């Protein structure tokens, strides 16, 4: 039998990247799923008692029950898996494990109340909802904050550094490097804010969502109010109208939100790669590192490329989760069960990508000389300003005149000044037009950066 370690693990998340995402395993591993099942089952039993549906638990009995969850360890998980080999049902195995733990205690009389009225997905969906909620709060947002903080720093540092912008890959009009970082920062802020505001829903309403068994056994209990209180005690939002499964629309909203976040960072990765290839950005050289096995001069943008690849994997999984989980046959089929176990994988690849982007951003240095050279090599970009100012004065065919003069041509600043001198316009207007340069034609870029911070 092969011993599994980081070198022979099948998944790179469990191997090459295991250190990067070790915190995430506390929310999406098989162990954490089993532990959460026991947590939810026990809290359900305790609330049944508090509401007088089953006998009142003493304080020490509540403590005994909660200890089963709080002290749950790998040995306990192995015991559950051993039961599962017999039951061939993971949820029933967790139920039997709890029953075994209260055997020969004062709680033994309540063993038949464990899981009473519930279906597997009352527990499982709540477990996955908790895993998403708690992993976002404890791990995911923290990793995104690292990216955000670097962008804040770069935005402020380079808000006044004029740079040639390109649209369709061609020289456009000037911008500032800081303002371009601010675009990504602003986009990220909006999506992170949306994700933080999203409520995560679950259900607790039985085999096909109608509380059939609950009402049959305890017809005088307000089960809708009960399930509301139970679900909200975990910081989740109840969905009362479901089939056997909660329909996952809410999960899909979260995953689509993360896809948008990932696409913003992917866009950033590609732009950084492009700026590095244009020599606008340089990468700090670390002693001992190798860029190529054969070309000793290479310093490759590997962190941005690594992020790009991992974001592609994450988004593929997230997209499949959105498309698959929100479609189920009639009141349920089992095809969601295996798919939903991959939520952690999708988040894991996302986090590896964010960390790579951070490494890349922390290694860049701005080549101001190259940026200035490229900017001044394209003085034709100020023709937009000239034609717009002329139009504002009523100068006839302003745009057409500038188009005939500049389109597809290599111009110098002297050529542009000669063109201005040839125009039949007041001298003071010529002075105004000649004062425009590629370096000062940045509009409100600096102000926009300040608005975004």
Q: What is the pLDDT of residues 388-418, one digit of tens each?
A: 999 999 999 999 999 999 999 999 999 999 9
For Cα atoms 150, 153, 156, give the angle at the middle one, nearest 5 degrees. 145
CATH number of 91's domain: 1.10.275.10
Which residue among the candidates 106, 292, 316, 335 is catalytic per the annotation? 292
CATH number of 147's domain: 1.20.200.10
Q: What is the pLDDT of residues 308-332, one digit of tens each?
A: 999 999 999 999 999 999 999 999 9
Q: In whole angstroms, give the CA distance from residue 144 to residue 348.
A: 13
Q: In whole angstroms, give the CA distance from residue 360 to residue 302.
A: 8
Instruction: Return the exposure string of 162-200: e unless at least 16 CB atoms fall within 10 Å of the residue's CB, then b.
Output: bbbbeeeeebebbbbbbbbbbbbbbbbeebbeebeebeb
User: Coil, strand, or helix at residue 172?
Assistant: strand
E strands, 222-352, are: 237-238, 281-283
Residue 68 sits in the same domain as residue 101: yes
Give the count of domains, the chain.
3
Structure tokens at 126: 């709540």
Residue 240 sits in the same domain as residue 345: yes
Q: How far from 362 is each of 150, 151, 448, CA to CA, in Å?
A: 8, 10, 24
E strands, 204-266, are: 237-238
Residue 149 sits in the same domain as residue 252: yes
Residue 281 sits in the same domain as residue 324: yes
Give domain status of residue 449, yes or no. no
Give domain status of residue 390, yes or no. yes
Q: Is 378 assigned a catalytic role?
A: no
Query: How big is the chain by its Cα radius of gyration, in Å?
Result: 31
- Contacting residues for 313 by C-beta, under 8 A, at least 6 apart: 349
Please report the pLDDT score of residue 109 as a whole number.
Answer: 96
Using pLDDT thresholds of 50, 70 and 90, give the confidence band for residue 80.
very high
Residue 193 sits in the same domain as residue 244: yes
Residue 185 sits in the same domain as residue 257: yes
Taking all residues of the chain, what is their mean pLDDT, rounded to a whole number? Answer: 94
**Overall average pLDDT of the 237-262 stretch:** 97
Q: What is the pLDDT of residues 285-311, one digit of tens each?
A: 776 665 555 555 656 788 999 999 999
Write out the DSSP string of 339-388: HHTTHHHHHHHHHHHHHHHHHHHHHEEE-HHHHHHHHHT-GGGGHHHHHH
Which residue among the candidates 104, 168, 293, 392 is catalytic per the annotation? 168
CATH number of 407's domain: 1.10.40.30
Give domain status of residue 169, yes or no. yes
Among candidate residues 330, 328, 331, 352, the one with its CA nearest the CA of residue 339: 328
Please report the pLDDT score of residue 427 as a whole number.
Answer: 96
Q: Which of 83-97, 185-199, 275-289, 423-437 has the lowest mean pLDDT?
A: 275-289
Contact 170, 190 (CB under 8 A): no
Give domain status of residue 192, yes or no. yes
Q: Is 401 assigned a catalytic role?
A: no
Residue 223 sits in the same domain as residue 341: yes
Give domain status of residue 374, yes or no. no
Among candidate residues 87, 116, 145, the one where a domain is terminated: 116
Give domain status of residue 221, yes or no. yes
Residue 357 sits in the same domain as residue 415: no
Please report the pLDDT score of residue 6 as a whole number.
Answer: 75
Provide the phi-psi class of 137: left if phi over 0, else alpha when psi is between -120 and 50, else beta.
alpha
Q: In whole angstroms, give the CA distance from residue 307 to residue 172.
A: 28
Domain limits for position 80: 22-116
Residue 145 sits in the same domain as residue 169: yes
Residue 78 sits in the same domain as residue 172: no
Residue 280 sits in the same domain as residue 384: no
Please report the pLDDT score of residue 292 as a whole number.
Answer: 53
Please report the pLDDT score of residue 1 as a whole number.
Answer: 47
Give domain status of residue 396, yes or no. yes
Among candidate residues 88, 85, 113, the one with its CA nearest the CA of residue 98: 113
Give domain status of residue 7, yes or no. no
Among candidate residues 368, 391, 408, the one where a domain is terminated: 368
Residue 31 sits in the same domain as residue 141: no
Burial of 312 (0-12, 13-18, 19+ CB in 10 A): middle
Among candidate residues 130, 200, 187, 123, the one with its CA nearest the CA of residue 155: 187
């Amino acid at each position: 039998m092969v011993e599994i370690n980081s070198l022979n693990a099948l998944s790179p998340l469990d191997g090459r990247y295991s250190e990067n995402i070790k915190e995430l395993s506390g929310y999406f591993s098989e162990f954490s799923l089993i532990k959460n099942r026991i947590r939810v089952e026990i809290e359900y039993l305790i609330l049944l008692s508090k509401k007088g549906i089953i006998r009142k638990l003493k304080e020490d009995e509540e403590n005994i029950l909660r200890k089963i969850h709080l002290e749950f360890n790998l040995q306990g998980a192995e015991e559950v898996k051993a039961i599962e080999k017999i039951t061939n049902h993971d949820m029933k195995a967790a139920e039997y494990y709890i029953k075994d733990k209260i055997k020969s205690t004062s709680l033994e009389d309540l063993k038949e109340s464990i899981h009473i009225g519930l279906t597997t997905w009352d527990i499982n969906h709540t477990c996955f909802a908790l895993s998403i909620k708690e992993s976002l709060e404890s791990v995911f947002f923290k990793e995104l904050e690292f990216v955000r903080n670097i962008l804040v720093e770069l935005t402020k540092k380079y808000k006044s550094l004029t740079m040639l912008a390109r649209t369709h890959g061609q020289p456009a009009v000037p911008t500032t490097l800081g303002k371009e970082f601010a675009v990504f920062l602003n986009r990220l802020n909006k999506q992170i804010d949306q994700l933080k505001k999203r409520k995560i829903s679950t259900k607790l309403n039985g085999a096909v969502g109608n509380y059939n068994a609950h009402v049959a056994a305890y017809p005088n209990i307000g089960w809708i109010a009960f399930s509301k209180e139970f679900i909200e005690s975990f910081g989740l939002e109840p969905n009362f109208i479901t089939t056997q499964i909660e329909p996952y629309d809410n999960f899909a909203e979260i995953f689509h939100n993360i896809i948008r976040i990932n696409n913003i960072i992917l866009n950033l990765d590609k732009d950084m790669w492009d700026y590095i290839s244009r020599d606008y950005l340089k990468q700090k050289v670390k002693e001992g590192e190798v860029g190529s096995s054969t070309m000793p001069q290479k310093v490759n943008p590997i962190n941005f490329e690594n992020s790009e690849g991992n974001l592609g994997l994450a988004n593929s999984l997230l997209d499949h989760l959105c498309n698959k989980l929100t479609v189920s046959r009639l009141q349920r089929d089992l095809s969601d069960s295996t798919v939903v176990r991959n939520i952690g994988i999708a988040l894991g690849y996302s986090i590896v990508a964010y960390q790579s982007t951070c490494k890349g951003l922390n290694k860049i240095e701005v080549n101001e000389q190259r940026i200035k050279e490229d900017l001044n090599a394209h003085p034709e970009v100020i023709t937009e300003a000239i034609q717009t100012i002329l139009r504002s004065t009523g100068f006839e065919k302003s745009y057409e005149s500038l188009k005939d003069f500049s389109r597809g041509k290599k111009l110098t600043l002297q050529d542009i000044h000669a063109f201005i001198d040839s125009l039949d316009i007041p001298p003071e207007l010529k002075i105004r037009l000649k004062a425009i340069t590629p370096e000062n034609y940045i509009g409100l870029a600096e102000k926009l950066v300040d608005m975004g911070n």
